[in-house]
Amino acid sequence: MDELTVGILVTVGLLFAVFLGVRVFVAAAIAGLVGLVAMIGWDAGAGIVGTIPHSKSANYVLSVLPMFILIGFIAFHAGLTHSLFNAAKAWVGWVPGGLAVASVFATAGFAAVSGASTATAAVFSRVAIPYMLEYKYDRRLAAGVVAAGGTLASLIPPSAILVIYAIIVEESVGALILAAFIPGVISAIIYAALIIGQCWMKPELGPAVPSPPLIERIKTLPGTIPIFAVVIIIFSAMMMGWATPTEAGSLGASVILAIALVNGMKWASLQEALMETAKLTAMIFSLIWGVLIFVRFLGFAGLPEAFATWIVGLPFPPIVIMIFILLGYAVLGMFMDAIGMLLLTLPVVYPAVVALGYDPVWFGIIVVKMCEVCLITPPVGLNCYVVSAVRPDIPLGDVFKGIFPFFLADAATIGLFLAFPGLILWLPSLIGS
């Protein structure tokens, strides 16, 4: 049996195991080990597998992950998310669906200091949904807004998924973080416009709330300063070349920690933030180890090169092939989590995308945006499960119904980025020039 056939058979076996519910990192590691042993024998195959966890973890770029995650958890446990939502509510609550719009902007703000979509959805299920239900908002809209708003953490930097993409394809973390800023803002604006349009046509979905006097609105702004200070520090340090992404993330974590302690953060809350950071970091590293074992096997099997050659040889324009690739991600996203899907597909898909002539940074933002869609796509739709778990009074079916308009908005946003790649590439081009 030739190596390419072994590669295809093992890959099919891996996908079958994942669909049966086996953890992605376990299935990938076992598949990679089996494939390597089948091709090069036990001693050589097991030797390669045994060296990967250390060799790949001893990577300076990876140290940015716990820093970005820590920023988000400290901000949450220090109570900064409530200040963010209260400010957004005061300033935009008067528009149709104002509390839902406030939720979108507050989740976007929190996403700028967090790297975890599910954490963002969980936080605002506690913070925003009670306000919306108190003002008689449709519970499907309330749940859908929070689930969709949580996905913004996948795109708005700092983002753990962006870092993972950069590691897999060996692209600049800084370039990807800068490239994601404008698409993240556009995604939030499109969500807000969708909510306003819905509630303008059907006011019963989300009534406007009275706007407080200007002086009261101004008083809500100081509470948002810590969030925006960290965002400015991270972006300024990278754009000016003062710091690497890891250094900027460390600086941001130090600043948010200092602010939290000044604001009276309790030792128990700090412990919880550190423990949750450690748990999420360990989970992500486990995924990386398992999938990189599988990636090493793919290299021996020659599957990425064969797939790239096949894709380039198809008698279709590159944009049509790209659309089919993205549709494939949409289907996979119905059954897999975002990080696992990226780790499994990129080693094969990325060489083909580059061979088609697409910019790696542009594709990174597009594929991470697809990961956002996967976070709200049934039957997996992880953010929807998180919202329903935090708010058991809202059935999962209602969450999925509430998310549907945002799924359409995401499809329109991806179409916009396909048509106008400059929306993604303009900001990093300023740094490169």
- The residues of the chain scoring below 50 in pLDDT are 433
Query: Residue 186's pLDDT is what?
Result: 95
**H/E/C letters for each residue in 327-393?**
HHHHHHCCCCCHHHHHHHHHHHHHHHHHHCCCCHHHHHHHHHHHHHHHCCCCCCCHHHHHHHHHCCC
Query: Residue 416's pLDDT is what?
Result: 95
Query: Residue 432's pLDDT is what?
Result: 57
Query: Residue 56's pLDDT is what?
Result: 66
Amino acid at 305: E
- Alpha-helical (H) ranges within 93-172 are 98-111, 117-127, 129-134, 139-155, 160-169
Q: What whole-number distance in Å separates Cα of residue 242 and Cα of residue 235? A: 10
Query: Residue 420's pLDDT is what?
Result: 94
